[in-house]
Amino acid sequence: MKRRGVLSEEELVIVQKNRTDEEAFEEFFKDCYLRNLRPSTINYYKNEFHAAKKIIPKQLVDWEQADIESLIFQSKELMTITSINTRLRALRAFYNFLVSRKFLKKNPMKNIKLLRDRQKEIETLDNHEIEKLIKVIRKQRTFVSFRDEVIMLVFLDTGIRLSELTGIRMEDVRGNKIIVRLTKNLFERTVYLSEFTQEQLERYIQIRGNLSTEKLFVNRDNHELNRHSIQTRFQKYGKEAGISKRVSPHSFRHTMAKRMIMMGVDAFSLMTLLGHSDMTITKKYVNLWGTDIEMKHKKHGALKGLKL
């Protein structure tokens, strides 16, 4: 029988060299570095790939759709829907890259969708809870407690992320403005301080003094402050203040977003202040607090005061 000129799909598999995960990872992470992704994003990918292979002990380059489905079924016993979707996003980025570079022919994620999750209520802090936190912090009367008060005020005033706050340098503070450089989407932005926060920040800078580090917020040893320390301290303050809600940099961010929406700030301006890359999450905030907006409309609707 005469042979065909073109090899079949099955024959091509035999001829082609088998790729390894090590080769695939090398290409994928080289691309991540070239695109200047944040170290935390690169570590997120590495951790998720490692964890996925622990559940399905097989090279990722050999995975098929059935393996992804098996991963989802097994993960449901171990993880939340949010965590599963986080892992699926990492795998999607990996396989999309490999297929685009012709490293793989088939994308096992092609027909896989993220899992639907119930919309959870986003907790925010009310006036009374914020005031209780301030009281607890001020009781200590130390450099660290005053620093923490200023950090909390900056969080509430600007809605910046924890990673953005720890990246602020002395030169980034300019009166009632802070230039945020270490952003999630790599675009610098300007956030604004209220008069009270500006005054407290200026007092903190005066007490801080001139140090070898250029980072704005420092620990008691005058070294750069780490993220974990901030999270731990605010959890502690929350317990001391008797607040059952989670007290964290992210809850301050949500609180700022809600208060801005309640004051009538438009979604586009809020998106810019929060550093969202698109309107999706900002719209989510607006929809979540729609009842509050409805009450505001009843009080301040455009037809109020008109004799019609």
Output 231 or 117, whichever has higher pLDDT: 231
Tens-digit pLDDT profile for residues 59-76:
999 999 999 999 999 998
CATH T-level fold of 127-299: hpI Integrase; Chain A (1.10.443)
pLDDT greater than 80 at residue 200: yes
- d(C-alpha 69, C-alpha 28), whole Å: 23
How many percent of the chain have pLDDT more than 70? 84
Between 44-53, 180-189, 213-222, the lowest mean confidence (pLDDT) is in 180-189
Q: 70-99 burial by CB neighbour count: b if 16+ within 10 A, else e?
A: ebbeebeeebeeeebbebbebbbbbbebbb
Tokens of 234: 């605010």
Strands annotated E in the chain: 173-174, 177-180, 189-192
Output 243 or 119, whichever has higher pLDDT: 243
Tens-digit pLDDT profile for residues 104-162:
889 999 999 988 866 666 788 899 999 999 999 999 899 999 999 999 999 999 989 99
Kindly state the average pLDDT of the residues 7-16.
Answer: 53
Tens-digit pLDDT profile for residues 89-107:
999 999 999 999 888 889 9
Quick one: which of 272, 237, 246, 236 has its CA closest to 257? 272
